[in-house]
A and B are shown apart, each in its own frame.
Chain A
Amino acid sequence: MSTDLPAGSPPVRVAFYNDPKIRAVVYQVALVAIVAFLVYAAASNAIANLQRAKIASGFGFWFNTAGFDISQTLISYSAQASTYGRAFWVGLLNTLLVAGFGVVLATILGFVIGIARLSTNWLVAKTATGYVETIRNIPLLLQLLFWYNAVLKTLPEMRDSIKIPGGIVLNNRGLFLPDPITGPGFHWVLFAFAAGILGSIVFYVWARKRQEQTGQQAPVFLTSLGLIVGLPLVVFALLGFPLTFGFPQAGRFNISGGMEILPEFAALLFGLSIYTAAFIAEVVRAGIRAVSRGQTEAAYSLGFRPQPTLRLIVVPQAMRVIIPPLTSQYLNLTKNSSLAVAIGYPDLVQVFTGTVLNQTGQAVEVVAITMAVYLTISLVTSLLMNIYNSRIALVER
C-alpha cells in the first residue's frame, strides 16, 4: 500500500480555521485589539478622572518651584529657588550615591563571606552559613527599620554625643566626620594620582608583552603600588601638605562644620550592604565551586604554586560564572534602595514619587518618570552585561 496520493486527486485542503497561519493571525489580532482597548479605556478614564479632580497634566510641573526642603543634597538646592526638576536630580543623585557605596561594601562583605563558607575551618564555615541563612530569610524592610529605629535612633542625644578620637562625633542626628579642606595646589596631587594609574596601565601592558616574548616577569604589583600611592604622596609632601580638616564643632543643639552622614543614609547603606552581601556570598560560593578540582590539580602538576594557581587558573574561571548573577545582585541593590522611602532617606522615590507626587497630584507623569529612570538603569546594565558576556563566554569546541 502506498501512502502517495493517486495522481490527479485534488490537493489536500484543511478548513481555514485549522490553518496554523490563519490561526496565528487571528490570535495576534485579538491580543492587539484587547490590549488596545484596555489602553484606550484606561486613558479615557484617566482623562475623565483627572479633569473631574482638576489635576493638570503634562510635564509643565517640572519647571515649577518645589518649595520643600531635602535633608541631603549633593548639588545646590533650596526650597524657594529650585524647581521640581532640580529636586528630581537631587533624589536621583542620592539614589546613585547610596547604591554606589552599597555595591562596594556588599561586594567586599559578600566575597569574604562566600569564601568563608567554603573554608576548611569548621567554625568559620558554620558562622558564614548562619549569617547567610539568617540575613536572607528576613525581609529587607524589617532590617532597615531595625537599623534605623532600634539602633541609630537610640544613640545619645546631641548634648551627650559620643566623641571618637580623631574629631568624629556620633549621635542620633548622624555621624559627623572631619571635613577635608584642600589648600592651593592640591589639584597637582590629583594629577599625580591620575598619572600613577595611567603609568601602571602602561607598565602592565609593557610587562605582559615582555613576558610573552622573553618569559621574564616584572614586579607589576609593586610598581603599580609605587606609582598610584607613592607618586601622589611625594607630590603631596613636596607641596607642603596642602590639606587641612574642618572639625565638627558640637554645640548644644546643633553641630557646625565637618561632614555629616545622616542616620537615614547610614541605616540604608548598612541594611542594603548586609542584605545583598548574603546573596553575593551565595553567588561567589557557587562560582568557586563551579571550577572543577581537576583545574587546580592540573595547574599543580604543571608546576604552578598555590597563589598563581588561584590568580591565573581558578579566579578567572570562577569570575565567568560569578559576574552575570553578581550584576543582577547589583541591580537588585539599586532597586531595593527605593525602600529608603520607609526610613525617610531622600532618594528618588522618597523625593519624587513621595513629596513631588503629593504636591502636584500628577501621579501618571511622576510614576512614569520614576519607572523610566529605574528601567534605564536596568536596561543599560543588562546591555553592558550582554556585551561582557559575549566577550568572556567559553568558546566551545
Chain B
Amino acid sequence: MTMSEGDLAVMEIRFVRGAMLDSKPPPASMRGAIGWLRENLLSSPFNIALTVIIALLLAWIIPDLLRFLIFDAVWTGADRDACLEGVQHRAIGACWPFVWERWPYFVYGSYPGPDRWRVDVFFVMLAIGVVWLLWLHAPRRDIGAIYFFVVLPISAFILLTGWRAIGLEPVDTVLWGGILVTIVVSWVGIVVSLPLGIVLALGRRSHMPAVRLFSITFIEFVRGVPLVTVLFMASVMLPLFVPEQYSPDKLLRALVGIALFASAYMAEVVRAGLQAIPKGQFEGAMAVGLNYPQRMRLIILPQALKITIPNIVNTYIGLFKDTTLVFIVGIFDFLHTVEISRIDPKWATPVTSTTGYAVAAIFYLIFCYAMSRYARATEARLALSDRR
C-alpha cells in the first residue's frame, strides 16, 4: 500500500506520545512526614492553634507523669526514709519499695501466710476457666462452660473457705482481702448475674402478668437506686431478715447485694438482645412444635446472647469497677487494702498516697482495658460473620 502526500503530512504533524513519561511523585509538601503533618495537624489556622494548645498540655502532663513514675521514683528502700525528700536530698517520685513490701497484702489481704497457696491455686484455676471460655479455638468449650459455672464455684468455695475433712484449715472471710476479694466479688457477680439476668429478662417478656410485674418491679427498682444503697441494704437489712443464727457474714452480704444489682442490669442487656430477634424466629420455633424451654434454649437464646456478647462484657467492666464499692461497707477489697496501707506510719510520706493510687489505677486500667478490647474484637467478628 502506498501513501499519498496527504497521509505523509498527517503523519508528520501527529501528536501521539510513543513513550510514557514516568509519573512524578506528589510535591514534597504533600507526602511523607511533612504531608502527614499538614494534613492531620496543620490544615487550618484553627487546627494549628488546637495542635499547639494540645501539644503544650501534653508537654506539661507527660514529662511530669514519667518523672513521677520512673525517673524520680525510688526503687529500693526499707522504710519511709527512702522516700523522704528531706532525707534523700533530691526530688522524689513514686515510692515503689512501699508497693513491693505491701504487695502480698494487696493480693491476699490478711489471708494466713501458710495457706496462701490456696489462693494461688484459685487464681490459676480461674485463669484456666477464663481462657477456656474466651479462646475461640479451645477444645470442648461446652465442658469449659460447665467447668466455669459449676465445677469452679464449688471447688473454689472449698479451697478458699477450707474443709477440715480434706485437711484444709477453715479461713474466716474476715481475713480475706485485696485482689482476692476483688476477683471473688466480681466473679460471683459474673457467674450469678448472667443466669439470673436471663431469667429476669425472659420474665419481663412473659405473657403471665404476675411474672412480668415481678420482673419489671425488681429490675426498675434496682436500676433506680445507687449501688451504695443496695450494699447498705444488704449489709444492715439482710441480717434482720433471717433468723439470728443464720446471720450471713459480711462478705456474703456484699456478694448478695452485688449479684442482685448486676442481675438487674444484665436483664436489661439480655432483653435488648431478645428484642432484636425477629418475630419469625419465635413463630418458626413454635411451628416445628418446640415447647417454651426448648424454644428458648435451642432457638432464641443462642441468637440473642450472641449479639449481646459485647454489651455483656461492657456490663462486666462496669461490675468489675463497681466492686470497689464494697469498700464502703467495710470489706477489704484491693482498693481498701491500698487505702489502709497508704496511711501506714512506716511508709507515711507525701508521695505514698499517690503511689498507692497509681498502682490501683494501673491494675484496674489493665483489666478493664483488656475486657473492652475483647468486647470490641467480638463486635467486629460478629459484624463480619453477619455480613451476607
Contact = CB atoms under 8 A, between A and B. Distances in A.
B229 A370 contact: yes
Contact of A367 (B207, B208, B229, B361): B229
Given A137-B364, A140-B321, A353-B229, A363 B50 contact: no
Interface string A134-158: 1011111110011001100010000
Interface of A is mostly: helix
Nearest to B61: A127
A256 interface: no
Interface in B296-340: 317, 321-322, 324-325, 327-328, 335, 339
A142 B364 CA distance: 10
Contact of A52 (B47, B208, B227, B244): B244
Contact of B327 (A24, A46, A48, A342): A342
Given A127-B58, A338-B226, A375-B221, A50 B240 contact: yes
B51 A27 contact: no
Nearest to A34: B214
Nearest to B335: A142
Contacts of B369: 133, 137
Given A141-B335, A146-B357, A374-B229, A124 B207 contact: no
Contacts of B110: none
Contacts of A336: 226
Contacts, number: 154
B375 to A, nearest CB: 12
A221 B90 CA distance: 57
A146 B209 CA distance: 48
Interface in B353-368: 353-354, 357, 360-361, 364-365, 368
Given A120-B40, A349-B228, A137 B365 contact: yes
Contact of B51 (A121, A150, A370): A121
B324 to A, nearest CB: 4
A329 to B, nearest CB: 13
A127 B368 CA distance: 19
Nearest to A337: B226
Interface string B183-227: 000000000000000000000000111110010000011011111
Interface in B332-387: 335, 339, 342, 350, 353-354, 357, 360-361, 364-365, 368-369, 372
A137 B317 contact: yes
B335 A150 contact: no
A364 B237 contact: yes
Given A123-B55, A363-B240, A27 B353 contact: no
Given A28-B210, A363-B240, A341 B47 contact: no
Interface string B40-62: 11010001001100110110000
Contacts of B317: 137
B36 to A, nearest CB: 8
A5 interface: no
A335 B225 contact: yes
Contacts of B78: none
Interface in A83-140: 119-124, 127, 133-134, 136-140
A44 to B, nearest CB: 10
B25 interface: no
Interface residues of B, number: 56
Given A46-B240, A145-B339, A154-B350, A139 B357 contact: no
B237 A367 contact: yes
B235 to A, nearest CB: 9
Q: Which of B50, B54, B223 has the most CB of A within 10 A?
A: B54
B339 to A, nearest CB: 7
Interface residues of A, number: 53
Interface string A370-393: 110011001100000000000000
Contact of A371 (B229, B240, B327, B365): B229
A237 interface: no
B226 A349 contact: yes
B221 A139 contact: no
Contacts of B360: 142
A254 B147 CA distance: 62
Nearest to B203: A31
A379 B267 CA distance: 18
Nearest to A371: B225
A45 B241 contact: yes
A374 B339 CA distance: 28
Contacts of B282: none
Contacts of A32: 210
Nearest to B370: A137
B325 A339 contact: yes
A357 B47 contact: no
B241 A42 contact: yes
Interface string B14-28: 000000000000000
A28 B203 CA distance: 11
B211 A31 contact: yes
A35 interface: yes
A138 B360 CA distance: 9
The 4 A-B pairs of least Cβ separation, nearest first, read A137-B368, A378-B224, A122-B40, A42-B241
Given A154-B353, A341-B328, A367-B237, 9 more contacts: A31-B211, A48-B243, A121-B51, A122-B40, A123-B51, A145-B335, A349-B229, A353-B228, A371-B221
Interface of B: 40-41, 43, 47, 50-51, 54-55, 57-58, 207-211, 214, 220-221, 223-229, 232-233, 236-237, 239-244, 317, 321-322, 324-325, 327-328, 335, 339, 342, 350, 353-354, 357, 360-361, 364-365, 368-369, 372
8 contacts: A35-B214, A42-B242, A121-B51, A124-B54, A127-B57, A142-B364, A349-B226, A375-B224
